[in-house]
Amino acid sequence: MHVLSRFTQAAKLVWKRKRRFRGKFGSIDFLVFLLPLLIPTILLYGMLLWTFYVSFSDWSGVAPNYTFAGLKWYRMMASLDRFWVDVRNNLKWLALGVMPTIVVALFIAYLLEIRPVRWLESYVRTLILYPTAMSFLVSGTIWSWMYEPTKGVFNTILRSLGLEALTGRFVTDPSTATYWLIVIFIWQYLGFAVIILQSSFRTTELQEMVEAAIVDGASRLRILIQIIIPNIRGGILILVSLLLISALKVFDIVYIVTFGGPGYSTDVLSLHMFIATFQQHLVALGAGLGVIIFAMAFIIIVPYTIYAFRRWFD
């Protein structure tokens, strides 16, 4: 009892010192440590508000025109067929860029976890992670060549295997082009998804639970579904958010592989924003599209940021 109370007193003392210490930043310290972060943040939010304002202005043409026009350009946006194609395509990106990536990544991460061969892990990690260091421009250029319908890699391989029936038009077929673009995205983000899942597998509590389940004779599939997945909800939330945000922001892949074509069948909001602003000079419309992208991003980011906030200040 005596030992225990001495221990708690010591702990309290350490805790108090910690608190006092954490809070102490003098005014010069503020300048040195806080301003460098504060200035870019203020600039970013300033530009965000600026874009909001532009979206309500009547700016079309090269010279800025900040006359207030209310919802004029939003109405114009909603009347554009292209806008609704964008929205549909963006939803396809969100659903198909994220769900399959997570399912496949979960499968691979779990296999690596119960790997029967030792050297596999570092090999597979390097193999699927190198595209993370690659730009979408590079992967888009490479995959354009893979997809090229007459001379490209996939069709040539299929033909040489005698599988003429399986050859396709890939990104030149308006009805399926977006899906082939999403394949590039999945290819590029799979490694990223795997390492995040792996790191959330490796907590002591989870490892202990799995050990207990194995002793009880649970099958591997049951362990995955009933123990691992419910216990890595945090990791999955992070992963889903990051993939959603990346899928929403997608611009480079579409730009380099199809430029929204054929027609505007593979167009997405981000590309439309770029074209409206810098090619058609409908700047207010472009700003409005930017605001729509931001609104969608905001919905995705907020739960994630709250989660990160709780972890950070816990």
Nearer to another protein, 84 or 309 (CB): 309
Nearer to another protein, 179 or 274 (CB): 274
Cβ neighbours for 278, distance < 8 A, ≥ 6 positions apart: 286
Nearer to another protein, 42 or 99 (CB): 42
CB 60 within 8 A of CB 284: yes
Q: Cβ of residue 273: shortest distance to another protein, in angstroms?
A: 5
Nearer to another protein, 23 or 162 (CB): 23
Largest CA distance in the chain: 84
Nearer to another protein, 7 or 130 (CB): 130
In whole angstroms, give the CA distance from residue 36 to residue 279: 35
**Residue 26 region by backbone torsions, left for phi larger than 0, else alpha for psi between -120 and 50, else beta:** beta
Residue indicated by tokens 């892990």: 121
Please report how many Cα atoms fall inside a 13 Å half-sphere around the Cα of residue 50, on the Cβ side.
9
CB 66 within 8 A of CB 59: yes
Q: Cβ of residue 255: shortest distance to another protein, in angstroms?
A: 7
CB 232 within 8 A of CB 206: yes
Run of H or E including 19: helix 2-23
Q: Cβ of residue 305: shortest distance to another protein, in angstroms?
A: 4
In whole angstroms, give the CA distance from residue 263 to residue 265: 6
Q: Cβ of residue 234: shortest distance to another protein, in angstroms?
A: 9
CB 257 within 8 A of CB 140: yes
CB 283 within 8 A of CB 60: yes
One-letter amino acid for residue 42 of the chain: I
Nearer to another protein, 2 or 310 (CB): 310
Q: Tally DSSP H helices, then E strands, for the chain.
A: 16, 0
Nearer to another protein, 1 or 61 (CB): 61
Q: Cβ of residue 54: shortest distance to another protein, in angstroms?
A: 6
Tokens of 91: 């939803």
Q: Cβ of residue 36: shortest distance to another protein, in angstroms?
A: 4
Nearer to another protein, 121 or 173 (CB): 121
Q: Cβ of residue 60: shortest distance to another protein, in angstroms?
A: 13
Q: Cβ of residue 160: shortest distance to another protein, in angstroms?
A: 8
